[in-house]
Structure 1
Amino acid sequence: MNASDDQAATNAAEKNDQVSTPVPAQSGQAAGPAAGPNPERKKLSPLRSLVRAALRDVTPIRLWLLFGLATLGFLCFCIATVVTVKQHMHALDTVGSDAAPSVISAHQIKIAVAAMDEALTDQLMTAPGQRAYGELVDDFEKSRQNVCRELVVAAQNITYGHVEQEPIENIQIALGAFEMQAQRARDLHEGGKDVDALGAYRQALATVGDKILTAADDLNKANSDVLEETYGREKSASALSRGLVLVLGMVLIGLLLYINIFISVRFKRRLNMPLIFTMLFLAIFLRHLTSTLGESSHGLVVAKEDAYNSVLALLDARAAAYLADATLSRCLLDGEDVGNQKKFFQANLDRIAVLPAGQSGQTVLAAALKQAENGQKVSVSGFGGALADELGNIRFEGERMAALDCLTTFLNFRETSNQELNFILAGKRDDAISIGLGYDPHGTHEAFNRFDDAMVRTLQINQEALSRSVKNARHALDGLVGGSIAFCVLMVLSTYLGLRPRIQEYQIESYLHRRDLKKNQG
């Protein structure tokens, strides 16, 4: 039905309304034709008024209805887009700035505390006044400062309430107690009371194991659990949310196309430029949006699975290495509990790497080197532990050789540390001290330093990749929330501009029709 059809229908209705109807005679008067216009005759029933309005206004009502549907569609599209972008941002913030830094700080605290423990045990085995004694005091102080720095980082990054705050407070309180106990042991040793110094050291060791390391594990778990949960939820919801945004966008394009066709057929106009531009810009924005969300999702995967997982494996390996090295010094200082210390030492070595049964470390290294040279993923049957996880997750430039260097230096450290432990178990204390505390380039001390340097280099590669991936993915989303809202508002205005001239045509037709009716009735 076009505008002329509506006008004809309305004229017919008006003519019918103007037909004279007989008026009942009042008391004392004869019935006859009406002498003049009567207001009661022009009053229509509600049903007839509704039909009359529908016949006259059906097209503008349909236009307003289509505009309302388009507005509702853009509102839903905007909400879905904003929610999806916010979810991506939350996941990136969790991995990049909320949870991962606290996980790293928890491991660094364990590493620094283990270094403090080792420095203290070595001090108690070194004569006061020697140069080495002063160097060990400095090492203890440097490690203490590292713990304090990591505590500050963790405290500044509290995101999940008491599950983070409580472990940090416990570490801080226990660290103060450990420092006082360590100083007491040092004072007794300098006073020549080595037996009492050993008792004071055991109290300090209990504080380290029962309080500081336990609280550091609690801090690590609180953040690691949230990170894994957030990533798992985002990974499963990412494709669904992007699909929802894409579907809503396609539905909107279809609705705008229908409006364009309706106007073209109904008003005999071929092009409606505002609606065409709305469809075009919506298609461009939809493509940009889905591409950006896909890029962000990929960046999250790289940050979590490629970088963070390697960082976590290397931190586990490094913490275990420091604990194992401190255990060797402890076995030299306190020989009463060597059996349990040996188990603790071996457990930490196994956390770093477990060799396949019946195979030597050199066999595993040769197989790993061969796979790496062929560009294959390093995967040796029966080979496990943190280093195996890292070697199986090599993704970045320079990481392959650094990770293989970790394995090479670990095997050397493993061999020399086991040799030192065997000297201790055999009662060859002087030989154990020579290989463990001396500066022999083939001793445990130098082997540990080479292994630690290799882990630090590999850690740096992955931490830089983690930071870079999160930064790039986050940068891609910057401004997308505000931009999406502004875009949808502009698209609603553009749709209105496309429909407004057609709506105004009916408003003019209606005005002219009412004016003609008044003239005829007058």
Structure 2
Amino acid sequence: MAARAALRRRYWATVPARLRLLRAATVLLATALAALLLAAGLAATGTWDSVAGRDAPRTTSAADLDLALNNMDAQAANTLLSSGNAGKGRLQTPYEKAAGFYGDARRAIGHDLRTLSVAAQGDRTDEKTVESLTDNFAEYQELIGRALENDGRAGGKAAALADYRRATDLLKSQLLPDSRKLVDSNDSAFNAEYSAARSALSGRLAAVLALGLLLLAVLGLLQWYLARTFRRILNPGVLAATVCTLLAVILGSQLLSATAGHLRGARRDAFDSVVALSRARAIAYDANADESRFLLDPQRREQYARSYLAKSQQLYGIEGATLTSYDSRLATTWQAYRADRHDLRFTGEFRRELDNVTFPGERAAAEKTVDTYAVYQNDDRHIRTLVASGREREAVAFCISWEPGMSNEHFGAWMTALDKVTDINRAHFASSVRDGRSAVSGLLPWTGGLLLAAMALTALGLRPRLAEFR
């Protein structure tokens, strides 16, 4: 009993003991709050490193691979369409452009496969997908190379077409499904990390507020005890420490809430649109390839016409539309939207983008994309009309020419408009990442400094009072 009484006098019963205990509680809580904020800041920095350096590039590389595969196949078809008979009757400009774009696409695919191979390490499912893509792409290149070699021989068109069919069948059955699987896999991984990071930030914000309020309560108790014991209204040191703590809690809360806001801006407002627009671009190139395949392979025209319509529906879905009615119904539904932006009678990737318009200039750019898409759709009907009337040579020239007013020139205008919307969202994604990093690097040192000042000011404020008992 005597020992317990001695301990009680030492640690609580006397005024100096109470002051030391309150000082220790202040230091411990301030240290815990500083450690929590430091851990939250480091975690936020790690999240931004993952988002900008891993998650977003992986997803866009997979989407770029999908696009490049479609572009490579389209350019192979365009090369065969424009080559003439062993060079005789060649459409020189379309042929040279197709050959150049084919080489660009092949190099882009090689780069994307290397990037995705590195990104897939540790994920056995993705590793197998990349391995399958690499093997199948090698086979695809061999088939296309054989097709182009056969096409260079007089009378080699039939053999070239047979090789091209096998190549494009491999593309449809293996390469494109695998590339889209990687898009979905990497985008899902990014989404999971985003959700986990947002949840962690919410938990840390609640913890910061709880610890901060507890620390302010202890400082308030200390101030009250000093006023009651020493008959003074306020202790300047403890008052200054309370102000520093309050500022630290405000800045720390702002750091976490700003990080959460910038993270949402990067993922939901910007990158969701980047993914939708990247998918739209890949689908557009596939649809463009279907036009060339339609002209190149008369035996499969019905198949490629259905495929083209399916891709049109993925981009701008109109329930019940056929190739013959799609143009007029696109014009009607788009005019309705233009009159009332809430009148959305279509689905697809363009609708997904218009539902997620966030940034200045984005809506106008997105609407411009649909305007240019409508022009391209009209060109497609013109090509099919020319074929139906037996003017296939004219249809080929119109389809693959880059001259003003021709189909490829209009396709280029559509892609330019689509790229502008994508660039707006990419720029805001980058600015959200940059602002998120700045919030951490700008506010974290201040919160740490304020909490250190609070501890020092508390000690300085109590020193004169404790000195009275020596």
Tell me the CA shift for residue 484 of structure 1.
4.7
Matched, 1:113 2:69: yes
Change (3 A) 1:160 1:314: farther
Give the Cα–Cα distance (whole angstroms) in 1 for the partners of residues 442 and 135 of structure 2: 43
Aligned counterpart, 2:409: 446
The number of residues matched between the two structures is: 455
Aligned counterpart, 2:377: 414
Contact 1:357 1:382 in 2 (8 A): no
Change (3 A) 1:49 1:384: closer
Tell me the CA shift for residue 322 of structure 1.
0.3
Aligned counterpart, 2:434: 471
Tell me the CA shift for residue 242 of structure 1.
2.1
Change (3 A) 1:356 1:90: farther
Match 2:133 to one of 171, 175, 185? 171
Give the Cα–Cα distance (whole angstroms) in 1 for the partners of residues 97 and 415 of structure 2: 19
Contact 1:184 1:200 in 2 (8 A): yes
Matched, 1:395 2:349: no
Per-residue CA deviations over 1:285-325 (Å, capped at 9, x if unaligned) read 22222223332222222222221122122111111110011
Contact 2:263 2:436 in 1 (8 A): yes
Change (3 A) 1:213 1:52: closer
Aligned counterpart, 2:5: 51
Question: Partner of 1:134: helix, strand, or coil?
Answer: helix
Aligned counterpart, 1:70: 26
Amino acid at match of 1:82: L
Aligned counterpart, 1:231: 194
Amino acid at match of 2:99: V
Contact 1:314 1:390 in 2 (8 A): yes
Matched, 1:346 2:302: no
Aligned counterpart, 1:40: none
Tell me the CA shift for residue 144 of structure 1.
1.4
Change (3 A) 1:178 1:56: closer
Per-residue CA deviations over 1:146-171 (Å, capped at 9, x if unaligned) read 22333455456568644554444443
Give the Cα–Cα distance (whole angstroms) in 1 for the partners of residues 268 and 260 of structure 2: 12
Aligned counterpart, 2:298: 335
Q: Unaligned regions of 5+ residues in structure 1, if any?
A: 1-46, 372-377, 509-522
Amino acid at match of 2:5: V
Change (3 A) 1:50 1:384: closer
Aligned counterpart, 2:146: 184
Aligned counterpart, 1:39: none
Give the Cα–Cα distance (whole angstroms) in 1 for the partners of residues 121 and 249 of structure 2: 34
Amino acid at match of 2:372: T
Question: Partner of 2:17: helix, strand, or coil?
Answer: helix
Tell me the CA shift for residue 439 of structure 1.
4.9
Match 1:124 to one of 62, 80, 93? 80
Give the Cα–Cα distance (whole angstroms) in 2 for the partners of residues 104 and 379 of structure 1: 30
Change (3 A) 1:357 1:85: farther
Per-residue CA deviations over 1:153-191 (Å, capped at 9, x if unaligned) read 545656864455444444334333322222111111112
Q: Unaligned regions of 5+ residues in structure 2, if any?
A: 322-327
Contact 1:379 1:392 in 2 (8 A): no
Give the Cα–Cα distance (whole angstroms) in 2 for the partners of residues 440 and 241 of structure 1: 59
Give the Cα–Cα distance (whole angstroms) in 1 for the partners of residues 38 and 203 of structure 2: 14
Aligned counterpart, 1:101: 57
Amino acid at match of 1:96: A
Give the Cα–Cα distance (whole angstroms) in 1 for the partners of residues 19 and 407 of structure 2: 84
Give the Cα–Cα distance (whole angstroms) in 1 for the partners of residues 7 and 104 of structure 2: 87
Change (3 A) 1:67 1:56: closer
Matched, 1:250 2:213: yes
Give the Cα–Cα distance (whole angstroms) in 2 for the partners of residues 52 and 416 of structure 1: 96
Q: For residues 17-416 of structure 1, what are the structure 2 equivalents within 5 Å?
A: 47-48=1-2, 50-51=4-5, 54-55=8-9, 58-59=13-14, 60-125=16-81, 126-127=83-84, 128-129=86-87, 130=90, 131-132=92-93, 133-154=95-116, 161-192=123-154, 193-236=156-199, 238-355=201-318, 360-371=329-340, 378-416=341-379
Change (3 A) 1:202 1:259: same
Give the Cα–Cα distance (whole angstroms) in 1 for the partners of residues 266 and 237 of structure 2: 42
Give the Cα–Cα distance (whole angstroms) in 1 for the partners of residues 216 and 289 of structure 2: 67
Contact 2:244 2:451 in 1 (8 A): no
TM-score by length of 1: 0.78
Per-residue CA deviations over 1:445-474 (Å, capped at 9, x if unaligned) read 222122111111211111111111211122
Give the Cα–Cα distance (whole angstroms) in 2 for the partners of residues 382 and 334 of structure 1: 35
Give the Cα–Cα distance (whole angstroms) in 2 for the partners of residues 240 and 204 of structure 1: 52
Change (3 A) 1:244 1:425: farther
Rg comparison, structure with higher value: 1
Per-residue CA deviations over 1:99-139 (Å, capped at 9, x if unaligned) read 12221111111111111111111222222444243332222
Q: Which has the higher contact order (CA 8 A, sep 6+)?
A: 2
Give the Cα–Cα distance (whole angstroms) in 2 for the partners of residues 241 and 486 of structure 1: 19
- Kindly report the root-mean-square deviation, in angstroms, between the aligned alpha carbons of the 2 structures: 2.9
Per-residue CA deviations over 1:493-514 (Å, capped at 9, x if unaligned) read 44334344444544x2xxxxxx
Give the Cα–Cα distance (whole angstroms) in 1 for the partners of residues 315 and 330 of structure 2: 13
